[in-house]
Structures are given as C-alpha cells and as structure tokens.
C-alpha cells in the first residue's frame, strides 16, 4: 500500500524515528489522509515528508478509526494536524488483511488447547483412585532389569 500526497508517492518513517522527531520538536506538520479502509499519517520535518509505516511490514500504516489515529498522535505530543478526507470511503469493503496475525492466533489457540489437554491429563492422574507401585518395589524391579541387561551385555555384576 502506498500513500500519495498530491502526485507523489511518499517514503515511510517508522514509529521510533517519528517519536524521536516529535520529542525533539522537529515535526513541522502532520496530516491524516483518508483512504479506502481507514486513515494514514503523513508528517513533515525539515525538507522531508514521510508516511508512517507499520512496524512489521514497513508498508504505510492504516488506522481503521480516526479516533485511534488521534490518540496515537496525542501520545507522541502532536496535538494539531490537518485532515484530508478526499479519498476516505466509510463504506469501503476493503479491509486490512493480516495473515501473519491469523497464523499467530491459530498457533495461540493450538497452544492453549494443548495446555488444557496436559492439565486435564495431570489432574486425572492425580485423581486416579488405583494405588500406584510403592517406590521400593519399583526400585527393585528396575534393579533387576539393569542386572539382566548387564548380564546380556557381558558386564556381569560390575557397575
């Protein structure tokens, strides 16, 4: 996705850089640009004009709601900005696809299901009314098995 200002396609800026520029008071202006699917941010600093990029994809970040964009800018200390709603379409069927988030959510559900399975299996084991084998009996059983394996391997009774 690209962000256009006038006839030019803008390069992007990441959150950390924008945050540093805002802290330094270097942001000369900010603009919310309406488009199908939401709003993007374009900032001007020095001789540069850049669109805010999404953190992972490095594509232009699109805010679905103007209120979210306002909160984001306010958190950076940018309280005044222009709004260009020329290309904004509130009824746009276009929505932001996030296949990476879908896969991550799927993995989280699988992990939660496995965790629940393990917890229930442990709880069932703890609640099992059948008596277990006493430690001494289990120790004697495995001592006998080890002795048999050593005998087969030709070690005899040596440790």
What was the pLDDT predicted at 96? 56
Shared domain for 128 and 80, answered yes or no, is: no
- Say which CATH number the domain at 76 has: 3.30.720
Segment 91-150, tens digit of pLDDT: 776 655 667 778 888 999 999 999 999 999 999 988 888 777 888 998 999 999 999 999
d(CA 154, CA 159) in angstroms, rounded, equals 12
d(CA 86, CA 16) in angstroms, rounded, equals 29
- What is this structure's pTM? 0.55
Nearest to 15, CA basis, from 42, 54, 49, 44: 54
Confidence of residue 10 (pLDDT cuts 50, 70, 90): confident
Range of 132's domain? 99-153
Looking at the chain, list the stretches that DSSP marks H as alpha helix, in order from N- to C-terminal side: 15-23, 66-76, 99-127, 135-153
Which among 32, 53, 84 is the end of a domain?
Answer: 84
Shared domain for 142 and 78, answered yes or no, is: no
Q: Is residue 90 included in any domain, yes or no?
A: no
């Amino acid at each position: 996705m690209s962000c256009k200002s006038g006839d030019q396609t803008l390069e992007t800026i990441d959150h950390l850089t924008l945050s540093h520029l805002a802290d330094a008071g270097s942001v000369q202006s900010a603009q919310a640009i309406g488009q199908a699917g939401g709003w993007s941010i374009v900032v001007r600093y020095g001789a540069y004009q850049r669109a805010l990029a999404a953190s992972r994809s490095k594509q232009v970040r699109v805010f679905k709601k103007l209120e979210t964009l306002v909160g984001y800018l306010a958190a950076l200390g940018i309280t005044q900005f222009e709004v260009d709603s020329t290309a904004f379409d509130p009824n746009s069927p276009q929505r932001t696809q996030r296949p990476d988030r879908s896969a991550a959510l799927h993995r989280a559900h699988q992990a939660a299901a496995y965790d629940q399975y393990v917890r229930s299996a442990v709880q069932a084991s703890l609640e099992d009314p059948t008596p277990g084998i006493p430690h001494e009996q289990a120790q004697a059983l495995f001592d006998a098995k080890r002795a048999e394996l050593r005998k087969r391997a030709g070690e005899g009774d040596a440790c």
